[in-house]
Amino acid sequence: MALSFTHSDSSITVGDTIRVHQEISEGEKTRVQIFEGLLIAIKNAGAGKSFTVRRVGTNGVGVERIYPLHLPGLKKIEVKSKGHVRRSKLYYLRERIGKAATRIREKKANVASTAAA
């Protein structure tokens, strides 16, 4: 099971809150659409790797999108916050309602470097 992947020199793991920038073409025009949510799963390996992003939309309705990692329209993935989880798949968040559906402990900074000083 894949726990992390790298995209444009940034390491992304399950439990991170990310913003996915995807290029959408409508007719002759193209625009970039941003989808922000919690990374709940990373599947497969190699060229077929994909990841699932979940957010709670309007009226508490959960919205999930599955992105192939090597999608040509995938422009950028930003990591807003790193999450600390002990599972590789966070499917249990689907049953949670409201704020509890997005509550993940934040990963602390490395304390070993400050203790040595």
pLDDT number for residue 31: 94
Residues, the chain, total? 117
The residue ranking higher by pLDDT, 115 or 66, is: 66
Q: pTM of this prediction? A: 0.81
Residue 66 · residue 16 · CB < 8 Å = no
CATH topology of domain 4-97: SH3 type barrels. (2.30.30)
Domain boundaries, the chain: 4-97
Q: What angle do CA 79, 83, 87 make, to 5 degrees?
A: 125
Percentage of the chain beyond pLDDT 90 is 37
HSE-CB for 10 with a 13 A CA cutoff: 13
Q: What angle do CA 92, 85, 12 make, to 5 degrees?
A: 105
